[in-house]
Amino acid sequence: MIHFIGGGQMAEAIIRAVLANKTARKEEITVADISEQRNTYLTKNYQVSANVEQSAALKQADIIVIGVRPQDDLASVGTLICEHSRKEAVVVSIVAGVTIEKLTNFIGEDRAIARVIPNTLTDTGLGYSGVSLNKYAREEQVDRFLSGFGKVMYVEERLIDIFTGFGVAGPNYVYYFIESFADAGVLAGLPRQQSWEIALENVQGAVEMLRQTGKHPRQLLDINNSAGGVGINALHELNNSDFAAGLQRSVLKAVKRTTELGQE
Ligand SMILES: NC(=O)c1ccc[n+]([C@@H]2O[C@H](COP(=O)([O-])OP(=O)(O)OC[C@H]3O[C@@H](n4cnc5c(N)ncnc54)[C@H](OP(=O)(O)O)[C@@H]3O)[C@@H](O)[C@H]2O)c1
């Protein structure tokens, strides 16, 4: 059984994905949110058991997902888990910025804990969630569940903020690139719809090309850029801009902000 403490936006996205991927059946999922309205909504839309007593659901759970916000009463959540759950159950926290050490203080020693930074591409099956395990947790306990909403990358906890600012924020950089690229087509004179379709197809095709050939981007650029041609002229202009360094500064800023938020 998988029990969610807190059934907000992220918990809902995870539930929707694991049900769609058949990683879990609706009978295996319980949810207890503070809000009755939220519980009713989840029961109605996903047919999971979201009108359960926290204590009863915790007794049955093999996986306990903490899906509340960092500013919510985590100490009470920890006490509940401590008092009612089985020692063998693994606690999966998706609470941003809350370290395994803090979670241990709330839940108690000797408990299996997985700290997860869920990716936000849950409905696609793509994108990595970052996972750090404490010494009592094993990959086999969480792997199947976590694979239900994307791919899983196990990382040392010291790398979690980097993983967040670079990896989990990753789609944002790509969304912005696609928008800027489609705008470039419009600026040059193509209709918006055609620019948009070309931009999407190019991004997907370029990723596929890299995967299929196993080549480095520079090798593919060398093939595409003939002497004095279109490609090398375009690249020269891009090199003159702040493109690479700007993107890299943006990632570093996101990592720094992740750390700041965790310390607040
Ligand atoms: N959204 C994302 O993209 C994302 C990405 C990565 C990580 N996260 C993490 O995921 C967690 C949830 O985020 P979210 O966006 O899903 O927030 P959210 O929609 O506000 O969900 C949190 C839910 O938990 C409920 N709650 C609060 N305290 C509770 C308690 N003691 N027992 C039971 N339920 C309780 C809240 O109810 P009330 O509203 O009535 O208080 C709310 O429905 C956060 O810690 C966040 O850091 C989110």
The pLDDT tens digits for 28-49 are: 999 999 999 999 999 999 999 9
| Helix 170-188, helix 192-213: angle, nearest 10 | 130
Is residue 69 within 6 Å of ligand 1 at its C-beta?
yes
115 lines ligand 1 (CB under 6 A): no
Q: How many CB atoms lie within 10 A of CB 229?
A: 10
Specify the amino acid at residue 156. Answer: E
Q: Report yes or no: 232 and 226 within 8 Å, Cβ to Cβ.
A: yes
Q: Report pLDDT digits (tens) over 33-92.
A: 999 999 999 999 999 999 888 999 999 999 999 999 988 999 999 999 999 999 999 999
Whole-model pTM?
A: 0.90
Answer yes or no: is pLDDT of 240 > 90: yes
Closest-CA residue, ligand 1 atom 1, reads 10
Query: To 5 degrees, how large is the angle CA 245–CA 246–CA 251?
Result: 95
Tokens 């906890």 found at: 157
4, 14, 33: residue to mutate for ligand 1 pocket, most atoms within 8 A of CB: 33
Residue 124 has pLDDT above 90, yes or no: no
Contact assessment for residue 145 and residue 14, using Cβ atoms and an 8 Å cutoff: no
pLDDT-based confidence at residue 11 (cuts at 50, 70, 90): very high
